[in-house]
Amino acid sequence: MGMPGKPDGIKGSEVATYYRAGRLKEIAEYCETDIVNTYRVWLRYELFRGRLSDGEYNASEQHLADYIKAHADTKQHLNGVITGRSL
């Protein structure tokens, strides 16, 4: 679907290794990018089903972008999730 946003340096297969090393913050950031992209997939699904209008879909994407930008200082790992989004 062309969605950016996976953090560099960690793959899902490495989560157990990160956990054993006590790198919980990186695991949380990795999971949070998955959550954001899952939400974006759901939005697109609802758009295709006709349960969201183009305007509602675009507004939801914009609200998400605004949230991420407003929290850029504490959620830098999410900055890549918005890059390249198609509105």
Percentage of residues of the chain with pLDDT beyond 90: 57
Token pair for residue 66? 């605004």
The domain limits of the chain are 12-82
Token pair for residue 2? 């062309």
Which of 81, 86, 87 shows the shortest CA–CA distance to 38?
Answer: 81
Per-residue pLDDT tens over the stretch 24-66: 999 999 999 889 989 999 999 999 999 999 999 999 999 999 9
Hey, is 8 helix, strand or coil? coil
